[in-house]
């Protein structure tokens, strides 16, 4: 509300006028909010199909067939439980068979058929029969080099600074010497080295292999190294 005062000249007059102010405009209507969307209930998950039960038939156990050419022996039905008697008073061996008499290769009664003579007392027992050259693993005492000069280094290869080796195979006889004609070169780095080995081998000396105290031939594999002194 608004008020104003007024007065008149020559007299006393006053008046007061009041006027009402226009009313305030009404507030805007409230907008109604839309209702919240309805939540849909979750759809039920489809059930997995039940697993099918499959019956697996295992193969029947079959006994392995016996190998061809062999006879299957059936187990005995009646197992004997009695131990056979042993006559301890009966001699098991013939003492005469260990007397050392008789003929080599025969029996204690001197039956001929061996390589010895009648009356032998077995001193030559264990003698080695005739045999070709033995291998190192077959002898009791193998061959060993005991003398002789080593192969001479070829001068042409020495001046050129060439080194190498030769692997030779040969037979050492009962006298401890190289058996002529048995040399075989298994490997060689240079023909000049091979010639040097062939030239020196007949002059080498060896201790012969032995079996039972008797000297025998042995097949030997020996390497020869050619190295320059540094």
Domains of the chain in start order, with CATH, are: 136-226 (3.30.2420.10)
Cross-strand pairs, 147: 205
Residue with the bigger pLDDT between 126 and 227: it is 227
Strands of the sheet with 184-188, listed across from one edge:
184-188, 164-172, 218-226
Global confidence as pTM: 0.45
Task: Please give the full DSSP string across 125-165, using - where no structure is assigned.
Answer: TTPPPS--PBPGGG-SB--EEEESPPPPPPHHHHHHT--EE
Average pLDDT rounded to a whole number, residues 211-217: 93
Closest CA to 201 of 169, 156, 225: 169
Confidence bin at 120 (pLDDT 50/70/90): low
Q: Which of 61-65, 68-72, 131-135, 188-192 has the lowest mean pLDDT?
A: 68-72
| Lowest-confidence pick of 34-48, 122-136, 205-219 | 122-136
List, for residues 31-60, the tens digit of each pLDDT value.
677 777 777 777 777 777 777 766 767 777
pLDDT at position 57 = 72
CB-CB neighbours of 168 under 10 Å: 21
Highest mean pLDDT pick, 5-9, 103-107, 114-118, 208-212: 208-212
pLDDT at 184 over 70: yes
For residues 13-28, give the mean pLDDT: 61
How far apart CA 158 and CA 155 sit, in angstroms, is 5
Phi-psi region for residue 157, left (φ > 0), alpha (ψ -120 to 50) or beta? alpha
**Closest C-alpha to 99, from 87, 84, 109:** 109
| 5 has pLDDT over 60 | no
pLDDT for 139: 92
Residue 83 has a pLDDT of: 75
């Amino acid at each position: 509300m608004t008020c104003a005062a007024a007065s008149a000249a020559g007299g006393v007059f006053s008046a007061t006028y009041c006027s009402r102010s226009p009313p305030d405009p009404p507030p805007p209507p409230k907008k109604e909010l839309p209702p919240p969307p309805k939540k849909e209930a979750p759809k039920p998950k489809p059930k997995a199909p039940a697993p099918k039960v499959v019956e697996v038939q295992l193969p029947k156990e079959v006994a392995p067939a016996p190998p061809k050419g062999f006879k299957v022996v059936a187990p005995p039905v009646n197992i004997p439980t009695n131990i056979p008697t042993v006559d301890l008073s009966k001699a098991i061996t013939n003492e005469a068979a260990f007397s050392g008499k008789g003929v080599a290769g025969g029996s204690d009664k001197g039956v001929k058929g061996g390589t010895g003579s009648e009356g032998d007392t077995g001193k030559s027992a264990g003698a080695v029969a005739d045999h070709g050259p033995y291998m190192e693993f077959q002898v009791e005492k193998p061959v060993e080099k005991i003398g002789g000069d080593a192969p001479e280094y070829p001068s042409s290869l020495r001046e050129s600074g060439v080194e190498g080796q030769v692997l030779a195979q040969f037979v050492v006889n009962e006298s401890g010497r190289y058996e002529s004609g048995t040399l075989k070169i298994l490997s060689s780095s240079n023909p000049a080295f091979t010639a040097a080995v062939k030239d020196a081998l007949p002059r080498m000396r060896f201790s012969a292999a032995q079996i039972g105290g008797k000297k025998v031939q042995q097949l030997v594999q020996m390497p020869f190294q050619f190295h320059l002194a540094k």
